[in-house]
Structure 1
């Protein structure tokens, strides 16, 4: 379990570091995104990514 958490954490860090380049190729807004925008605040919640990660973790824990 600890190895899984480390991999997930490193993946999140890598995604955060690569985010400026990812938005340039058109992946900044995906279908199914929930966007909350305020005056000095913007929150993106990715339903698609959440579903994929949930499925992967479910398959890992099933075995």
Structure 2
């Protein structure tokens, strides 16, 4: 297989695993996420969720870079 097909298969597997894990990990409702409700308006800023996703994506891209 060529390098492009391996990369596409790896990205597909990563998306599949992330989608599967989203059923069990309730991202967006972690302690530290900011939710402000006033009247009919809700402001939501996922601070901890953003940090967690950043760390996970950094690890994934580091691993992908090691295999290239």
- Range of TM-score over shorter length: 0.5 to 0.7
Runs of 4+ in 1 over 3 A off after TM superposition: none
How many pairs are equivalent? 50
Relative contact order higher in (CA < 8 Å, ≥ 6 apart): 2
Structure with the higher helix share, 1 or 2:
1
Q: Rg bigger for which structure?
A: 2
Aligned residue runs from structure 1 range 12-31, under 5 A: 12-20=18-26
The root-mean-square deviation of aligned C-alpha atoms, in Å, is 2.7
Q: Where does structure 1 lack aligned partners over 5 or more consecutive residues?
A: 21-27, 30-34
Structure 2 length-normalised TM: 0.51
